[in-house]
């Protein structure tokens, strides 16, 4: 298990919930590849409203526009490990936004961690 403290890099990938990779949700593919790469953690957050490069607003408030809501996949690990993962995204993300932020990890533990 990776132990994170101090300076880390947060990778955020914004895509649509209907985006796929070989008939599988793209967000799920990113999470599974991050896990296979041994990264410290990844989570998917579904937005209730948003727009991107197309300027089309997607929202859960109007039934007719509730398709393809925004999704954010957030991955956190050391800068070296996150940057090594970026080539994976080049093959997966054809439409979307990829951001990197420097952050400070102050606590990272598991329920299974005896500490």
Q: Is 30 in contact with 92 (CB distance < 8 Å)? A: yes
The 10s digit of each residue's pLDDT in 70-106 is 999 999 999 999 999 999 999 999 999 999 999 999 8
The 10s digit of each residue's pLDDT in 15-46 is 999 999 999 999 999 999 999 999 999 999 99
Determine the topology of domain 6-105 in CATH: Alpha-Beta Plaits (3.30.70)
Is residue 102 exposed (0-12), middle (13-18) or buried (19+ Cβ within 10 Å)? exposed
**Can you give the residue ranges of every domain in the chain?**
6-105
Q: Is 9 in contact with 76 (CB distance < 8 Å)? A: yes
Q: Is the pTM of this model over 0.95?
A: no
């Amino acid at each position: 298990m990776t132990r994170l403290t101090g300076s880390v890099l947060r990778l955020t990938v914004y895509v649509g919930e209907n985006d796929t990779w070989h008939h599988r949700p793209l967000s799920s593919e990113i999470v599974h590849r991050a896990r296979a790469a041994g990264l410290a953690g990844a989570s998917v957050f579904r937005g209730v409203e948003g727009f991107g490069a197309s300027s089309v607003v997607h929202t859960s408030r109007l039934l007719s526009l509730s398709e393809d809501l925004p999704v954010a996949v957030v991955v956190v690990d050391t800068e070296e490990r996150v940057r090594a993962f970026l080539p994976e995204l080049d093959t997966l993300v054809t439409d979307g936004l990829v951001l990197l932020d420097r952050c400070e990890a102050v606590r990272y533990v598991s329920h299974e961690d005896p500490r």
